């Protein structure tokens, strides 16, 4: 055995190449595929314009209930028969809902993908949706939400979202609803949502060895029996900035910690400043080496971790800082956090900070794009946000070539410490007076 006294140096980064993207129209729908030559595994996903933004007021969570109910069988097979059909292919149905889309996907050996897509379409287009099954899925979701909302965090998140987006309707409510809204979801609500939004063709995303796949066959399986034109894209929301901060207090009597959420609205995902915004957020709070983590965790010892970043969707975005601190240091933690946001907005970033952020972000991009599933997620980003097919081919270079001036300008333009909403979930009786004395802005009590 030989001991090595010095750590090996890192080598030259290998060139990053995003797979070639192919688009084809089939039976009223669109197939968007990435070619992964030699890859033995393939994955496909139906991407439907049926995200949470389509839900009606008071029934937030309907799409999530529907997504989970798709696993309960189809009109042609009960849940056991459908599960066995999937198992026979070595496949598993995965579903998810975000603000912009409803997704249902499968991943199998490449030669089995046509059969898997047929099962995927069967589950999505003709689910059984037995009333007893839907009610059970809904009740399970309510139970899970109640357990989740009993913990610190969800109420603070909901209070911040309501404050930032209440005037924008659905965006002011939690993505997956809350215990009360999901409990109100009826079987009829789920059936109506399905018939309104899941019977349109949509987009089939495919990642695999296209030399062994017939996209026309896959598209025919995915879009058979569907109808309807693509929905017109709605424009991005405006990004209003408050003239003064405000504080929302979410009372959690007896809590020994305060859960903190600081935020304001931000541009949408396709904004031209996306790259410098992400790099500015990385320097500020998006990595373990960030300014906020160094100050609030390492220097002050107020928390185990703090994060600040931009969360961006098709029509809107948020800048949010999240952390939990001991009750006794709630006010100084907020003071230092606001101060750090103000400092990066005023002074920008340094060469050394940006070098670390560029390397980490570009390296993370290359590492993340290693599986058919991750490539499929990237294709979804292209489709949802209207980005060009060569977007990922040039994104890494954009990250590596961003300048201090670019990133500092983005911090000055898109960070607004004076317009923050501060949400504090903690023991109001203990922290209220100190928060008021600190002058963080008008204090209001959340009613959730």
Instruction: Work out the percent of the chain whose per-residue pLDDT is above 90.
Output: 90
Tens-place pLDDT, residues 209-235: 999 999 999 999 999 999 988 888 889
Burial class (CB within 10 angstroms; exposed 0-12, middle 13-18, buried 19+) of 360: middle
Tens-place pLDDT, residues 43-98: 999 999 999 999 999 999 999 999 999 999 999 999 999 999 999 999 999 999 99
For tokens 């400092």, name the residue.
343
In order of 24, 82, 126, 418, the CA distances from 91 in angstroms are 25, 11, 19, 51
CA distance 224 to 219: 8
Spatial neighbors of 323 by CB under 8 A, at least 6 apart, are 259, 260, 296, 302, 303, 305, 306, 307, 333, 337
Tens-place pLDDT, residues 411-430: 999 999 999 999 999 999 99
pLDDT of residue 163: 96
CA distance 11 to 399: 19
Statement: residue 349 has pLDDT above 90? yes
Helix or strand or coil: residue 68? helix
Residue 310 DSSP code: E
pLDDT of residue 13: 66
pLDDT of residue 290: 97
- The helix or strand, by DSSP H or E, that contains position 446, with its residue range, turns out to be none
CA distance 292 to 20: 39
Q: Per DSSP, what are the bridge partners of residue 34?
A: 21, 207
Q: Which domains does the chain have, with CATH numbers?
A: 21-223 (3.30.830.10), 246-445 (3.30.830.10)
User: Cα Rg for the chain, rounded, in angstroms?
Assistant: 24
Spatial neighbors of 185 by CB under 8 A, at least 6 apart, are 59, 61, 62, 65, 138, 177
Count of alpha carbons within 13 Å of 407, Cβ hemisphere only?
Answer: 26
pLDDT of residue 155: 97
CA distance 384 to 230: 12
Spatial neighbors of 60 by CB under 8 A, at least 6 apart, are 52, 170, 173, 174, 176, 177, 178, 181, 182
Helix or strand or coil: residue 275? helix
Tens-place pLDDT, residues 383-412: 999 999 999 989 999 999 999 999 999 999
pLDDT of residue 167: 75
- The helix or strand, by DSSP H or E, that contains position 82, with its residue range, turns out to be helix 79-89
In order of 147, 169, 262, 425, the CA distances from 174 in angstroms are 16, 11, 16, 17
Contact by Cβ (8 Å): 31, 206:
yes
* Distance of alpha carbon 371 from the chain centroid: 19
Confidence at 332, pLDDT banded by 50, 70, 90:
very high
Phi, then psi, of 22 in degrees rounded to 5: -120, 135
Farthest CA pair distance, the chain: 70
Contact by Cβ (8 Å): 165, 264:
no
CA distance 256 to 327: 5
* Distance of alpha carbon 321 from the chain centroid: 15
Tens-place pLDDT, residues 1-21: 677 788 878 777 677 789 999
Contact by Cβ (8 Å): 238, 165:
no
What is the token pair recorded at 237? Answer: 């929301």
Q: Per DSSP, what are the bridge partners of residue 102?
A: 48, 97
pLDDT of residue 370: 87
CA distance 226 to 48: 12
CA distance 28 to 281: 40
Statement: residue 37 has pLDDT above 90? yes
Burial class (CB within 10 angstroms; exposed 0-12, middle 13-18, buried 19+) of 234: exposed
* Distance of alpha carbon 205 from the chain centroid: 18
Contact by Cβ (8 Å): 311, 286:
no
Tens-place pLDDT, residues 27-36: 889 999 999 9
Beta-strand (E) ranges in 199-316?
Answer: 203-208, 246-251, 257-266, 306-312
Tens-place pLDDT, residues 271-297: 999 999 999 999 999 999 999 999 999
């Amino acid at each position: 055995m030989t001991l090595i006294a010095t750590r090996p140096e890192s080598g030259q980064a290998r060139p990053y190449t995003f797979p070639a993207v192919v688009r084809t129209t089939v039976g009223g729908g669109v197939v968007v595929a990435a070619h992964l030559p030699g890859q033995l595994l393939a994955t496909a996903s139906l991407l439907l314009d049926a995200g949470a933004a389509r839900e009606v007021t008071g029934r937030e969570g309907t799409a999530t209930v529907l997504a989970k109910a798709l696993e309960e069988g189809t009109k042609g097979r009960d849940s056991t028969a459908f599960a066995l059909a999937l198992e026979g292919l070595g496949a598993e149905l995965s579903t998810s809902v975000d603000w912009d889309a409803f997704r249902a996907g499968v991943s199998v050996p490449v030669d089995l993908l046509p059969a898997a897509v047929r099962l995927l379409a069967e589950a999505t287009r003709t689910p059984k949706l037995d009333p007893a099954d839907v009610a059970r899925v809904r009740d399970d979701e309510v139970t899970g939400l109640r357990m989740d909302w009993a913990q610190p965090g969800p109420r603070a998140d909901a209070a911040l979202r309501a404050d930032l987006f209440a005037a924008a309707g659905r965006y002011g409510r939690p993505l997956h609803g809350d215990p009360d809204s999901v409990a109100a979801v009826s079987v009829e609500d789920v059936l109506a949502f399905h018939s309104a939004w899941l019977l349109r063709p949509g987009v089939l995303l495919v990642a695999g060895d296209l030399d062994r796949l017939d996209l026309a066959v896959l598209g025919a399986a995915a879009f058979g029996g569907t109808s309807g034109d693509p929905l017109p894209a709605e424009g991005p929301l405006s990004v209003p900035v408050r003239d003064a901060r405000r504080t929302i207090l979410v009372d959690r009597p007896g809590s020994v910690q305060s859960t903190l959420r600081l935020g304001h609205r931000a541009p949408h995902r396709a904004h031209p400043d996306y790259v410098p915004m992400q790099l500015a957020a990385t320097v500020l709070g998006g990595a373990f080496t960030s300014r906020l983590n160094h100050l609030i965790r390492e220097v002050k010892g107020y928390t185990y971790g703090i994060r600040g970043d931009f969360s961006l969707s098709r029509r809107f975005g948020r800048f949010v800082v999240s952390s939990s601190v001991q009750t006794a240091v709630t006010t100084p933690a907020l003071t230092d956090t606001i101060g750090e946001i103000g400092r990066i907005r005023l002074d920008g970033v340094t060469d050394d900070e940006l070098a670390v952020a560029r390397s980490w972000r570009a390296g993370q991009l290359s590492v993340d794009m290693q599986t058919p599933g991750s490539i499929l997620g990237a294709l979804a980003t292209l489709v949802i946000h209207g980005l060009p097919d060569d977007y990922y081919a040039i994104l890494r270079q954009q990250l590596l070539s961003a300048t201090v001036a670019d990133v500092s300008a983005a911090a000055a333009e898109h960070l607004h410490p004076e317009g923050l909403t501060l949400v504090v979930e903690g023991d109001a009786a203990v922290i209220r007076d100190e928060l008021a004395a600190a002058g963080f802005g008008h204090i209001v009590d959340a009613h959730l």
